[in-house]
């Protein structure tokens, strides 16, 4: 019973459509305070799983569950705390890249 439940949970977990969104921001990030502001606010957006900031490259990488949110919703989420986000690229996850190369 327990094994079945664990397997079911694992299957549901695997079924998640995890994607990443890379954006630049306006105003630009200057310091850890800017970074904390972005992370401290964006984390409450539905479907956001992880946020990484790269200040030298001026990039914010957001990992999200595509079943729960969209890049447009996330970009709108930036506006709630006074930032404007512009999509740079949407990189496929490593696993997806691997799958594609294998194909």
Partner 1 sequence: MKLYITGIAMMLCLSAHAQKADSLQADTMKSQTLRNVTITSRRSGTKRMGGPVNGVSIAKEELFKAACCNLGESFTTNPSVDVNYSDAATGAKQIKLLGLSGTYVQMLTENLPNFRGAAAPYALDYVPGPWMKSIQVSKGSSSVRNGYESITGQIDIEYLKPEDEQGITVNLFGNTMGRAEANADANVHINDRLSTEILAHFQNEWEEHDQNDDGFQDQPTVRQWNFQNRWKYKDDTYIFHGGLGFIKEKREGGQTTHSPHLSPLTSHIYKIGVETDRYEGYMKHAFILDPSHGTNIALMTNLSLHQMDANYGHKQYNVNEKNAYAQLLFETNFTTQHNLAAGFSLNHDYLKEELFVSSKDITTTKETAPGAYLQYTYNLDTKFTAMAGIRADHSNLYGTFVTPRFHVKYAPNEVVSLRLSAGKGYRTVHALAENNNLLASGRTLVIDDLEQEAAWNYGASSSWYIPLFGKTLKLNAEYYHTHFNNQAVVDYDSDPTKIHVTNLDGKSYSNTFQVDATYPIVSGLELTAAWRLNDVKCTYNGEVMEKPLTSRYKGLVTASYKTPLGIWQFDATLQMNGGGRMPTPYSLPDGTPSWDNRFGAYEQVSAQITRWFRHFSIYIGGENLTGFRQKTPIINANDPWSTTFDPTMVWGPVQGAMFYAGIRVNFGRM
Could you say whether residue 59 binds partner 1 (CB under 8 A)? no
| Peptide linkage before 77 cis (omega within 30 of 0) | no
Segment contacting partner 1 by CB under 8 A, of 6-14, 17-25, 37-45, 65-73: 37-45
The answer to whether 73 and 23 are in contact (CB under 8 A) is no
User: Contact region for partner 1 (CB under 8 A) — 11-19, 41-49, 64-72, 93-101?
Assistant: 41-49
Are residues 17 and 65 in contact, defined by beta-carbon separation less than 8 angstroms?
yes
Residues forming the site for partner 1 (CB under 8 A): 31-32, 35-37, 39-41, 43-44, 48-55, 80-82
């Amino acid at each position: 019973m327990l094994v079945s439940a664990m397997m079911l949970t694992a299957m549901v977990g695997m079924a998640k459509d995890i994607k990443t969104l890379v954006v630049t921001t306006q105003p630009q990030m200057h310091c850890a305070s800017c970074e904390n502001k972005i992370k401290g606010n964006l984390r409450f957006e539905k479907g956001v799983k992880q946020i990484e900031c790269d200040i030298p490259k001026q990039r914010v990488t957001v990992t999200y569950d595509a079943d729960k949110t969209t890049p447009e919703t996330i970009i709108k989420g930036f506006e709630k705390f006074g930032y404007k986000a512009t999509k740079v690229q949407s990189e496929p996850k490593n696993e997806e890249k691997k799958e594609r190369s294998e194909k």
